[in-house]
Amino acid sequence: MVKVSLTVNGSAHSAEVEPRTLLVDFLRAHLSLTGTHVGCDTSQCGACTVHLDGKPVKSCTMLAVQADGHQVTTIEGVATGKDLHPMQAAFRECHGLQCGFCTPGMVMSALGIVTRHKDGLDEATVRHELEGNLCRCTGYHGIVNAVLLGAKNMGVPIKDSKAA
């Protein structure tokens, strides 16, 4: 067993885990944060996306011990109390989900896109940078619109797009 101490959604946590424990299993089984999903075993679907020190990573492809000493944000840490984050609200507004399985990962990736493109965002960039997230339901169009609207409501200028 190894000791892991990390900050998740602003609160400090410490636990003894097996070295082979994946970060996603630590979040879901040890901390009961089941908003982070597992959709594949090939590191391709992005349903497990969380932020590590503010950057999107696939928590199914990381050991919990690798996050020792770091800050993790999950989908549960995005809203403020009962108020949805503008990106979450945009997914609801734009029908950016059907079954909702991919949505936590999509929102965490979308927030990464906003961080990387504060100065301006267009539809092509959103589509390109969602390549690490798969959705089996929507056909992506609503998701792309949601990311653009969410970004706009977070103050990002949207370039040449009909959507937002």
Partner 1 sequence: MYSFTYAKPASVNDAATEFSASEDASYLAGGMTLIPTLKQRLAQPSQLVDLGAIADMKGISVAGGTLTIGAMTSHADVAASADVRKAVPALAALAGEIGDPQVRNRGTLGGSIANNDPSADYPAALVALGATVHTDKRAIKAEDFFIGLFETALEPGELIVKVSFPVAKRAGYAKFPNPASRYAVVGVFVAETAEGVRVAVTGAGPGVFRAGDLEEALSKSFSTDAVKGIKASADGLNGDMHATPEYRAHLIGVMAKRAVQAALA
141-153 helix and 86-93 helix, angle to the nearest 10 degrees: 140
**160 token code pair:** 């040449």
Residue 110 main-chain phi, psi, to 5 deg: -60, -40
Q: How many CB atoms lie within 10 A of CB 150?
A: 26
Q: What is the per-residue binding string for ligand FAD in 29-68, x denoting contact by CB under 6 A?
A: --------------xx------------------------
Smallest distance, partner 1 to C-beta of residue 64, A: 10
> How many residues of this chain bind ligand FAD (CB under 6 A)?
2
* Alpha-carbon distances of 119 from 2, 13, 48, 95, 144, rounded to whole Å: 42, 35, 27, 26, 18
* Element housing 11 (H / E): strand 11-17
Nearer to ligand FES, 102 or 126 (CB): 102
Contact between 104 and ligand FES per CB under 6 A: no
* The binder of ligand FES chosen from 4, 31, 57, 60 (CB under 6 A): 60
Rounded Cα distance between 38 and 43, Å, is 10
Contact between 137 and ligand FES per CB under 6 A: yes
Nearer to partner 1, 9 or 109 (CB): 109
Q: What is the CA radius of gyration of the chain?
A: 16
Note the residues at the interface with ligand FES (CB under 6 A).
38-40, 43-48, 58, 60, 97-102, 135-138
Note the residues at the interface with ligand FAD (CB under 6 A).
43-44
Note the residues at the interface with partner 1 (CB under 8 A).
2, 18-20, 22, 41-44, 46, 49, 52, 55-58, 61-63, 65-66, 68, 109, 112-113, 116, 129, 131-133
